[in-house]
Structure 1
Amino acid sequence: MIFGIPDPDPNDDFAIAIALWSIREVIYGNNNVPTRHLVGFVLQESLGRVSSAIQSFDKEEMVIETRSGRLYKLHGRPGDHPDSEHVWRRWKDFNNAQDEKNVTDEYWDGET
């Protein structure tokens, strides 16, 4: 099932744990500039998720903040999950995303 995610509470600094993650870069909609999105499996919900555009990345803490203000804690090594890949394909189709690049290596140095 594909559904929208409510905006986070601005007073909530809780980071959502996301596993089997990757970072994808695309151009979509009316954008001329590529945006990067976190694709992964949310452990608390047992669901795949695609984030809004990444705004910042704290490599020391392995935390990503997205345009919506949501925080994601990258859990473990990068990877993929069938549910998150399904959500990503649907997101790309819905948003007419093009020029996809996997840029995960820019966020992962191989350390655990």
Structure 2
Amino acid sequence: MSDPTTVLLCYCTCPHAASAQHLADALVGESLAACVNRIPGIHSTYRWKGKVTTDVEELLLIKTTVERFEALKQRLLALHPYELPELIAVPVERGHTAYLDWVRAAGED
């Protein structure tokens, strides 16, 4: 992932709507992401501190670039209420060219 213009789709879960909206506003407002979609009602089952837990969360789909990822990660970690926030970035291999160009340009405003 050495090309800084590569578009990334990042996944992050949040415990509730307020924290999800706060993160979305900050990441887009600070030009770290072009767009953040919030998907409520995600049911997550995971092992945490030796116990299997199930929670209802909101999933954020964050669109950014490799160039902005490190700054996005640092901001997300600073604002997120979880002790260990999920942040997974997947490179976008294909898509609507005009949309991907818009994501790339979003940090230039």
Q: Specify the structure having the higher radius of gyration (Cα).
A: 2
Q: Using CA pairs below 8 Å that are at least 6 residues apart, which structure has the higher relative contact order?
A: 2
Q: Which has the higher strand share?
A: 1
- Does the TM-score normalized on the shorter chain lie above 0.5? no
Q: Which has the higher helix share?
A: 2
Normalised TM-score (structure 2): 0.30
